[in-house]
Structure 1
Amino acid sequence: MNLGQKVEEGIFRVRIPIEGSPLKEVNAYLIVSSKKVLIVDPGPNHPLCLEILRLVLKESEVDNKEKEVFVTHFHLDHIGLCAKLDGMVLRFFLNEIEAQIIEEKLDERQKEALKLMKQHGFPENELEALKIYHPAKALPPFLPSFHPVKEGYKLLSGETELIVIETPGHSPGHCCLYEPNKRILFSGDHLLKEITPNVSLWSEEVDVLNLYLTNLKRLTELEVKIVLPGHGDPFSEFEKRIGELERHHAERCNEILNLVKNRPLTAYEIASLMRWDVKEKWDDLPTFQKWLGVSEVLAHLIYLERQKKIKRMRRKDYYLWTA
C-alpha cells in the first residue's frame, strides 16, 4: 500500500478523505528532512484520517522523527485532526489571528452569524437547522495549544526553509507557505487548481472579497514553479490560475449587479437566483450549502457597496440590495 505520493524530493502528498463533503478529500503534506517532519494541514478529526496519516508516516520510515504541524487555516477539514495528534507532535503552528479566534467563545460568534443571516433574508425555519450545525459548534473541544505565526515567520524543516505568507480572504488569518529555493507554494485553500475557493463574509467591517483579491494578486510577486493546494492536484500554471479566479469574481459581481438592477432583493434571494456549480436546485440544497452561498453573495455585495455600485435599504428587520 502506497498512500503517500512523492511530489518533490522530501515532500509527500497524502490524500485524506473528508466524510460527507462534496470536496471528498483534503491534501496533507509531509516535508521530510534528516531530523524531523513538518505536517501541513493534517485533515479532519476522524479515526480513518488518523490511521491514514500514521500509515504514511510508517511507510515513509519517518514515524520516529520529531514532528511539527503547520495549519494554513482553522477550517475543520484542515485543523480537526490536530485534536488527535497532541501526544505525537512537538509543536503546532497557526496564524496568530486564528489561534486567538479558536480560543474565544465560539457560541457568541455563532449567534452573530445567525443574526447576520436573518438580516439578509435567511428563512427562520432554515436558521433553526443552522443552530444545530454551524462550523463554530463543530470545532473539536480539545485542540492543542498553537504557536502563533504571522507574515514572514520562517519555519525550518531540517534543510528546508519555509516562509509564512499571510493571505486572508478565505478565512480571517489564512496563510500560505513558500519554499523559495525550490519555488514551491503550499497554498492551502487560497489558490486551488479547479475549485473556486469559497470567499464568504466573516465580518461586515471587512471587505473580504477585496482582501482576498489583493492577496491573490500579491502572490504574483513570487517565483512559483509548483503549487501544492489544499484540495485537488498540484499544478504549475500559477499566474494563469490567478487570472481565472480574478475573472470569476468579476463575472460574479456582474451577475449580482444584473439581478439587483431589476428589483431590490435580499442576499438570500440573490443567492437563490444565481448560477451555482451544483446539480441540485437551490430549494433542494442542504441548509449549510445555502449558508455558504449566501455568505459568498454577501462578500460580493459588500465589495460592490464599497465601490458605490450598489446600496442597501433597511426594511424592518432585514436589508434589501439595489443598484
Structure 2
Amino acid sequence: MLDAAAIGDGIFQIPVPMSHNPLGSTLVYAMESPGGLILVDAGWDADEGWAGLTSGLESIGHSVSEVEGVVLTHFHPDHTGLCGRVREASGAWIAMHESDHEMFAKMSSGRDAEWMDYQLANLTQAGAAQEDLDAFRAATGSDVPVGPESAPDRLLADDEIVALTGRGLRVVHTPGHTPGHVCFYLEDAEVMFTGDHVLQKTTPHVGNFVYPLEERDALAEFLDSLRRVQTMDVTRGLGAHGIPLDDVAGRAGELIEHHEERLEHLLDAFGDDRITVWEVAQRMKWYRPWTDFHPMAKGMALSEAAAHLRHRVAGGGGARGGGPAPAGGGRAVWRGGA
C-alpha cells in the first residue's frame, strides 16, 4: 500500500484502501483551496477506507475538517462512498456532473430488496438464466454500496473552473465509463486527474452497470472522450487506480485500438447469429474464462458487451457494419431491434 504523500505541483495523493476489491485502493487527490482543501474523489465507504483517508490527510499536515469540497470524477461507489462522512466531518460540498446524478440516485435509493430487484430485472431482460440470477443475488446481497448521505449537492459542468489557491481546476466532461464521468485539468502544471477514464494498466469498463441495457452509445462517447484528451497538453496523468501516466495521449490511443479490436472480434465471432445480450457477453473474449467470473463481474461484463453491441447496431466500429442482433430476453431493450 502506498503512503499518503506530496507528489509535486501542489498535489497530495492519499490511497484509500478497499481490501475487498482487487484494485486495492482508490487514489484520492487533495489540493489547497481558498476555503481549505479540495478532494478529487473520496473512496469506498468502509471503516478501513475512512481510517485511510483521515490518517492520510493527517500525515501530510491536514485534517478532514479542512475539506472545503469534493469534486467527483463519477458516481461509482469506490469514488463517492465516503462523501457522506467527509461532509459530516467538515461541512464540505459535494460536486458531480449532472449526467451522473440520476445514476447515483438509483444506486443509493435504499438499502433493501428494491435495489436487488432492480438489478435482477436488468439481468433478466438481458437473457440471464435463473441460476445466474441466483448466483448474483447470493454474491452481492441487497445492500447498496453507498447511501443517500453521500449524495452530491452541486453540479459540475464541462469547462467549469473549480477554484484552488491561486489557480483553477478545469472540468473536462469525458463520458463513456459513466454518462457523467469527468477528468480534472490542472492547466498551470499540465496535470490531468483522469479518474477511471485513462489508467496506466487497467482497461476501464465502458457502459453502465446500473442500467446495462441503456439506449445511449456509451462506446462512441468513450472513444470521442479519449480523442478529446489526446488533443490536450498533458504531461502527467493521475488516475484513481494504479501508477501515474507519463503519456496520456499514447495510452488513450492504446485504449481506442483495444476497443476497435474488440468490435472486430464481436463481428467475426458472432456473424448474423441472433442471440441474447447475455449470450453476447458469454461469447466475448475476456481476460479470463466466463465461468471464472464473479457474479458481479458478469454484470459489469454484460454492460460492456451491451455497449459494444449498441455501437455496432448504431453503425459504429468501421465500414463493415452489421453484427449480432439481440434476441430473446434482450430484444425489447432495442425497441424494435437492429
Give the TM-score taking structure 2 as reference length. 0.85
* Alpha carbons 2:275, 2:325 under 8 Å: kept: no
* Alpha carbons 1:36, 1:157 under 8 Å: kept: no
* Alpha carbons 2:17, 2:52 under 8 Å: kept: no
1:270-300 CA-partner distances (Å, limit 9, x unpaired) = 322333223xx32232111111111111100
Shift of 1:31: 1.1
- Give the direction of change, closer, same or farther, for the CA distance of 1:52–1:99 in structure 2 (3 Å limit): same
Shift of 1:45: 0.3
1:93 is matched with which residue: 83, 92, 95?
A: 95
Q: Does 1:299 align with 2:300?
A: no
Indicate the residue corresponding to 2:323 in structure 1: 310
Shift of 1:136: 8.5
Indicate the residue corresponding to 1:55 in structure 2: 55
- Give the direction of change, closer, same or farther, for the CA distance of 1:113–1:87 in structure 2 (3 Å limit): closer
* Alpha carbons 1:95, 1:150 under 8 Å: kept: yes
Summarize the alignment of residues 155-166 of structure 1 with structure 2, pairs less than 5 Å apart: 155-166=162-173
Q: Does 1:176 align with 2:177?
A: no
Shift of 1:109: 7.6
Indicate the residue corresponding to 2:200 in structure 1: 193
1:46-105 CA-partner distances (Å, limit 9, x unpaired) = 111111211122222122645321111110101001121122332211112223443458
Indicate the residue corresponding to 1:80 in structure 2: 81
1:114-151 CA-partner distances (Å, limit 9, x unpaired) = 33422332112222344563898322242254211111
Indicate the residue corresponding to 1:68 in structure 2: 69
Shifted more, 167-176 versus 134-143: the winner is 134-143
Residue aligned with 2:300, SS: helix
Indicate the residue corresponding to 1:153 in structure 2: 160
In the alignment, the residues of structure 2 paired with residue 42 and residue 2 of structure 1 have an alpha-carbon distance, to the nearest angstrom, of 16
> Which sections of structure 2, spanning at least 5 residues, go unmatched?
316-320
Shifted more, 295-304 versus 198-207: the winner is 198-207
Q: Does 1:289 align with 2:285?
A: no
In the alignment, the residues of structure 1 paired with residue 152 and residue 96 of structure 2 have an alpha-carbon distance, to the nearest angstrom, of 10
Shifted more, 199-208 versus 126-135: the winner is 126-135
Summarize the alignment of residues 196-211 of structure 1 with structure 2, pairs less than 5 Å apart: 196-201=203-208, 202=211, 204-211=214-221
Matched residue count: 320
Indicate the residue corresponding to 2:318 in structure 1: none
- Give the direction of change, closer, same or farther, for the CA distance of 1:73–1:313 in structure 2 (3 Å limit): closer
Residue aligned with 2:227, SS: helix
In the alignment, the residues of structure 2 paired with residue 52 and residue 300 of structure 1 have an alpha-carbon distance, to the nearest angstrom, of 37
In the alignment, the residues of structure 2 paired with residue 298 and residue 268 of structure 1 have an alpha-carbon distance, to the nearest angstrom, of 9
Aligned residues: CA RMSD: 2.8
- Give the direction of change, closer, same or farther, for the CA distance of 1:303–1:313 in structure 2 (3 Å limit): closer
Summarize the alignment of residues 214-293 of structure 1 with structure 2, pairs less than 5 Å apart: 214-261=224-271, 263-278=273-288, 281-293=289-301
Shift of 1:35: 5.5
- Give the direction of change, closer, same or farther, for the CA distance of 1:182–1:282 in structure 2 (3 Å limit): same
User: Between the two proteins, what is the percent identity of the paired residues?
Assistant: 27
In the alignment, the residues of structure 2 paired with residue 85 and residue 10 of structure 1 have an alpha-carbon distance, to the nearest angstrom, of 21
In the alignment, the residues of structure 1 paired with residue 198 and residue 54 of structure 2 have an alpha-carbon distance, to the nearest angstrom, of 27
Give the TM-score taking structure 1 as reference length. 0.89
In the alignment, the residues of structure 2 paired with residue 139 and residue 170 of structure 1 have an alpha-carbon distance, to the nearest angstrom, of 18
